[in-house]
Amino acid sequence: MAALKKRLDVIPPGSDDLFNMILTRDLENTEELHLCIQWVLFSSHPLKPQELFIANQLGIFQIGLGLEEVFDTQWNPEEMPAEGLRRYIDSSSKGLAEVTRSKKPTMQLIHESVRDFLLGKGGSRKKWTGFGSGHSGKAHDTLKSICLAQLEG
């Protein structure tokens, strides 16, 4: 059993390069990608797809337009049905996050090896430099500031 667990913990060779290529193949929507990954990695509970969408939009809104503008945080499924939401998540996470197929869908990374790569854990030989050094603390600060700004606004 221990040998099987050890084998399951090993990241397949080349997956680090694959994940890095996925994350860096284009420079479009990098702030949206960073926010999406941070929400999925560091949220205190698994987010519902709608929560991830709204949280990501709040973050993009604050980064791009400033805090003076008003942002509607109410979910309207008529404006974006479930399939559109899945496409948004796939696009903003570059395919590395997914919606679970359960009665109450939540967000998760497509595989634990993605988490290991992003955080430089497990058998991963590298970690994604997209967060820079001290990425966990900075990510928490980013998410906290988005939440606090929404409360203040």
Using DSSP, state whether 103 is helix, strand or coil.
coil
Q: Which long-range contacts (CB under 8 A, 24 or more apart) does 5-14 make?
A: 9/122, 9/123, 10/123, 11/113, 11/116, 11/117, 11/122, 11/123, 11/124, 12/113
Tokens of 135: 């990425």
Q: In what helix (H) or strand (E) does residue 64 lie, and over which residues does it extend? A: helix 49-65
Supply φ then ψ for residue 99, to 5 degrees.
-95, 130
pLDDT by residue (tens digit) across 30-87?
888 988 998 899 888 999 999 899 888 888 776 664 444 555 566 678 888 889 999 9
137 confidence band (pLDDT: 50, 70, 90): low
Query: How many whole angstroms separate alpha carbon 40 and alpha carbon 102?
Result: 17
Tokens of 6: 């050890």
Tokens of 31: 């702030």
pLDDT by residue (tens digit) across 86-126?
999 999 999 999 999 999 999 999 988 888 888 877 555 55
